[in-house]
Structure 1
Amino acid sequence: MLNFADFNVTMRLINPNLPLKIYKGHAIDKRCVYLVISKYKPISLLSTKMITVKKFYDNNQSVWRMLFSLNSDSHSSKSMFDNIFNDIINSLCLINSEEKALNTLCSRYEHWQRLLSKIPESFGRLKQQGLLSELYIIKKFLIPQYGVSQSIEMWQGPRGDKQDFILPKTWVEIKSVSLGKREIHISSLDQLNSDNSDGYLSVVTLQESNIYDNTAISLSILIDEIESMIDDDLVLLDFRNKLLLVGYGMNDDEEFIFKITNIEFFCVNQDFPKLKRRDIPKAIKSISYTLDIDAIMDFNICPGEIKWE
């Protein structure tokens, strides 16, 4: 155990075999921290709402110190913080050069910083409704087809991919709507477009319910059901990371209970009514639009017709 008086932290070295010295510990105010020490000067890294980053030059030791401090004491935040550094540390295991290791660490942190910047401030009814719809598609359709590990891997929406699910030869975008609503919002030109293949749009209709409805489901129940199917620690870690990235568990919002009343699938091919990049002037950098669900019923297909492979 080491006490770095300059930082008011007590820490332990994580792995002496790494080319960088990385310590983990707690600050005097009990916040979780990681400290990185290198003879090379690191780039300046941005702090986030969740993590504060500071760098210092130690004239006495002639080294640079980078301190990563967690700004929250919630269990979910601590789990995410540890997951981030587990990922960073794993990326360094095959690197022998200290300078290259430092560059890799900074690059991986910047990757996570971009993801963390997208975590919503709150996780209310609409966000819960959207996440529940995606998880239900995983459990109901993807796991029976691909197994739980590959299904979690294909869930790429939380990491900022164009569509929610990237399958081996196609893709699936999920939209959730409340009962009685028959329109969906397309937030970008890329959401229903792919250079590689046609894909599928799934519209999940939900109705808010309560605990007395035995046909209803909540996010926590659905998440527990999926986690009970996972027997690989790395897959479980990936699943939980993705939940955190969409905002689940990061806030103290009330949990809602929903009944899924309908699931529709639509084939998004070249004839599907969508805006395409080639039809939009180059001066327009972003665009969103609304689709009338009843007006795209010619593209409606049953789940058995979907070419998952």
Structure 2
Amino acid sequence: MIEIWAEITKPKGNDLNFKRCDPDHPLDLFLGREADGKYILFLEGLDERLEGLPSLAGVEMFCRADRHGTTALVLRLVDVEQETLFKSLCEDLLQGTRKLEFRANSTGAFLIVKRMRRWQELFQRRKTKLLSRQQIIGLVGELVFLQDVLNQFDDAVAALRSWRGPYGDEQDFAIGDTIVETKTQLSTADQALKISSEAQLDTTSGPIIVIHQTIASTERASPNSLTLNEHVAEIRSTLETASPVAIDFLDAGLLAAGYQKRSEYDEEAWEPVTRTIFEIENDFPRLVPGNMPTGIERVKYQIGLGACREFQRSDEWLDERIFNA
């Protein structure tokens, strides 16, 4: 979606210049610019007005009548200094509603409000709270794999779009029809796959690959280690050369992950140690909704790596499966 921002010019007079976000998206979502030049995202075709809507720094949300006599849910950028935030928010809302039924606009509106509240909470925490050490380890693991994806993809925007972990999706990456989940832990910890829900390894949504990575905390002088800030800077440098427009997608993911550059993230560096790839097949040891007793839900559990060895795959298999497909 970021590619079409430049196509939406400031309208003449009091008109609204707008364009459908994506012709393949199931909802009636549009990007536009108002007469004063402000950007808006709006969803048409709601059955009723929504009340008690959240707001975000520099972004307001409200309902108004649309051109069809129904209701539109509108997000407006009111502070131009928050343009990157607004574009990141719009991209997340577009991707987060992509699997809804065709023209389920009222359902989509409630989902958009829910995700907006999540962004509101995330943005408030981001101002005052550092990521925990475990969150840093998880983000480093995602960035390590993201760099691999960028190295393999000719289209940097497509590579960044595949990164879904920060947005609260069940899995970290969606590459073509394959879902990739990264599990990263310290090399000194007991080795296991920590699963956050019964849906995370449920292949009814598509083929799933789990990449288990271990990293070590090292001195900054180590030649093979990078701090969290350095990982981000390395990817940003790659994008500045390959596709500057993709930087907006990177910023969107980092913002959703709760990251902003801070000196504290340079206090500890991380060195890759091992990477093990698993293909989730029918007899892979796991809990999924279809094999759980009625009433049991929201489970968290871990799987010993020893029980997964027969499902281990090579780096060459991974390249062929998702990068050369």
What is the TM-score of this pair, normalised by structure 1? 0.68
Aligned mates of 1:224, 1:236 — CA distance in 2 = 11
Aligned residues of 1:217 and 1:259 also touching (Cα < 8 A): yes
**1:27-65 Cα deviation digits (max 9, x unpaired):** xxxxxxx9x9xxxx9632433686786879xxxxxxxxx
Report what 2:119 is aligned to: 116
CA shift, 1:114, in A, is 4.2
SS of the residue corresponding to residue 270 of structure 1 reads coil
Report what 1:217 is aligned to: 226
**1:68-91 Cα deviation digits (max 9, x unpaired):** 8999xxx9xx46544357769x9x
CA shift, 1:215, in A, is 1.2
Taking the TM superposition and a 5 Å limit, the aligned residue runs for 1:11-30 are: 16-18=14-16
Distance 1:50-1:274 versus aligned 2 partners, 3 A rule: farther
Identity of aligned residues (%): 18
Aligned mates of 2:307, 2:226 — CA distance in 1 = 30
Structure 1 or 2, whichever has the larger Rg, is 1
Structure 2 residue 280 is the aligned partner of structure 1 residue 282: no
Match of 1:195 among 198, 204, 213: 204
Report what 2:309 is aligned to: 297
CA shift, 1:203, in A, is 1.0
Taking the TM superposition and a 5 Å limit, the aligned residue runs for 1:154-233 are: 154-181=162-189, 182-230=191-239, 231-233=242-244
Taking the TM superposition and a 5 Å limit, the aligned residue runs for 1:41-52 are: 43-47=50-54
SS of the residue corresponding to residue 261 of structure 1 reads strand
Structure 2 residue 249 is the aligned partner of structure 1 residue 238: yes
Aligned mates of 1:18, 1:257 — CA distance in 2 = 49
What is the TM-score of this pair, normalised by structure 2? 0.65
**1:117-148 Cα deviation digits (max 9, x unpaired):** 563654122111111111111212x2333333
Distance 1:303-1:283 versus aligned 2 partners, 3 A rule: same
Report what 2:68 is aligned to: none
Aligned mates of 1:167, 1:274 — CA distance in 2 = 22
SS of the residue corresponding to residue 205 of structure 1 reads strand
Aligned mates of 2:171, 2:35 — CA distance in 1 = 36
Report what 1:152 is aligned to: 160
Distance 1:18-1:48 versus aligned 2 partners, 3 A rule: closer
Count the aligned residue pairs. Answer: 264
**Structure 2 residues not aligned, in runs of 5+:** 1-9, 18-32, 43-47, 64-73, 95-105
Structure 2 residue 150 is the aligned partner of structure 1 residue 143: yes
Match of 1:83 among 82, 87, 91: 87
Distance 1:192-1:117 versus aligned 2 partners, 3 A rule: farther
SS of the residue corresponding to residue 229 of structure 1 reads helix
Aligned residues of 1:177 and 1:184 also touching (Cα < 8 A): no
Distance 1:54-1:237 versus aligned 2 partners, 3 A rule: closer
